[in-house]
Each structure stands twice: as C-alpha cells, then as structure tokens.
Amino acid sequence: MIVIAGTVRIDVARRDEALALAQWISDASETEPGCLGYRIYADLADPATLFIFEQWTDEAALQAHFETEHLRQFQARLPEFVVGPMSIERFDVLRRERL
C-alpha cells in the first residue's frame, strides 16, 4: 500500500471554494481502481490548513491516478487557493494492522 500525506495552506478568504474543490477531487479520485481512500481534512485549530491523506493499493494505481483528467484539473486550479509551501510525502507501507 502507498500512502500520500500532506499539508496545504490556503487563502482563508477563499476557504469555501477551496473546500469545494477538495471535495470534488476526493469524490473523483475515490472512484478510481486501486484507491483505498482519498480525503482532505480541514484543521480544526487553523482554518487556513488542509491535510491530504490518500491510500493506494500499489504503484500502478497511483501512477494511473497521476494520469487522470480530474487530477490535471485539480492541479491547474489549486494555485488559486494556496498561500504557502505545500508539504507532501509518500509512504510505502509494508504492513498494516488495526490497533
């Protein structure tokens, strides 16, 4: 499994638009084969911070996601809302268990 996790700072004045875009990409991505989860969360303490959390079955699923039209559209619009550097990391998970 591959996990993508990140933090994005957005323009608070355009927060509602940014959240609508986040919901749109989440909904579109979760229909893709190999997507185990695609969520964007709002920070309860800081309205300018969003957290990205994606889960993919494997490299092929992630690479297919990178080629989708909805991701291209999302990436084209995202700079309208971002006001600082983004921090996005990839994790290759070897084992998963419930706590």
Number of domains in the chain: 1
Q: Which domain does 37 fall in, by range?
A: 2-92
d(CA 25, CA 27): 5
Q: Could you read off the pLDDT of 3-28 as tens digits, one per residue?
A: 999 999 999 999 999 999 999 999 99
Asked if 29 and 35 touch (Cβ cutoff 8 Å), the reply is yes
CA dihedral (76, 17, 23, 31) positive or negative? negative
Q: Could you read off the pLDDT of 36-70 as tens digits, one per residue?
A: 999 999 999 999 999 999 999 999 999 999 999 99
In a domain, 25, yes or no: yes
In a domain, 98, yes or no: no
In a domain, 97, yes or no: no
In a domain, 79, yes or no: yes
What rounded mean pLDDT belongs to the chain? 97
In a domain, 44, yes or no: yes
In a domain, 75, yes or no: yes
Asked if 90 and 3 touch (Cβ cutoff 8 Å), the reply is yes
Kindly report the pTM of this predicted structure.
Answer: 0.91
In a domain, 31, yes or no: yes
Residue 23 belongs to a domain with what CATH number? Answer: 3.30.70.100
C-alpha torsion 48→49→52→53, nearest 10: -140
CA neighbor of 85 nearest in space, from 47, 49, 32, 39: 49
